[in-house]
Structure 1
Amino acid sequence: MAVKKKIPMRKCVGCGEMKPKKELMRILRTEEGSFVVDAEGKKNGRGAYLCRSVECFRKAAKSKGLERSFKQEIPQEVYERLEKEMGEIGE
């Protein structure tokens, strides 16, 4: 009898779809309060998940999905830096 391994699912804050954790990118708020892209999903801190597309990132920025996830306002400079980082990782 084979044991079926459970695949962890996470919800994208941009499009709202449930996808396997490995297919999503994690945006992380560190203990210092800075925001970074955690491509491996292993760093410590509060995280929110996004599809690996710039369109989902823009949807999350427009609908304030990241701000809801982190329960705080996010400055525009942070959005611009995160979008640049996501573009570099996605290529």
Structure 2
Amino acid sequence: MATRKRKIPQRTCIGCGEVRNKRELIRIVRTPEREVLVDFTGKKSGRGCYICPASSCLERALKGNLLANKLEVEISPELKEKLKTELMAGIVHDEAP
């Protein structure tokens, strides 16, 4: 009996556009209550997008309104700072292309 290869989910970073394994990326989600959160578990319900664990990708996503467009929500300056703080706390390395 042949062994089956498991399919590894792939996602695209909204900052750099690189396709990577889902587990290598950090998910940002807009909940049904329209709250924007960093989802390190990847299991919260809502509209989500993915970003590399690199500060440069986050900067690109916030600067060009890519994050707001993907989540279909307005991103205030206070929310941008909150997301930066949460992501920087979760990022252990910076290896953007």
| Partner AA of 1:67 in structure 2 | A
Query: Aligned equivalents of 1:73 and 1:33: distance in 2?
Result: 10
Q: What is aligned with 1:22? A: 23
Aligned length: 91
TM-score in terms of structure 2 length = 0.87
CA RMSD of aligned residues (A): 1.1
The range that moved more, 61-70 or 36-45, is 61-70
SS for the counterpart of 1:6 is: coil
Q: What is aligned with 1:35? A: 36
Query: Structure 1: where are the runs of 5+ without partners?
Result: none
TM-score in terms of structure 1 length = 0.93
Larger Rg: 2
- Give the Å deviation of 1:6: 0.5
Query: Aligned equivalents of 1:37 and 1:7: distance in 2?
Result: 22
Query: Aligned equivalents of 2:54 and 2:40: distance in 1?
Result: 13
The range that moved more, 19-28 or 72-81, is 72-81
- Give the Å deviation of 1:72: 2.9
Query: Aligned equivalents of 1:29 and 1:72: distance in 2?
Result: 8
Q: What is aligned with 2:47? A: 46
**Structure 1 stretches (4+) deviating beyond 2 angstroms?**
none
Q: What is aligned with 1:72? A: 73
Q: Higher helix fraction: Structure 1 or Structure 2?
A: 1
- Taking only the aligned residue pairs, the percentage that are identical comes to 42
| Partner AA of 1:14 in structure 2 | G
- Give the Å deviation of 1:83: 0.3
- Give the Å deviation of 1:58: 0.3
Q: What is aligned with 1:5? A: 6
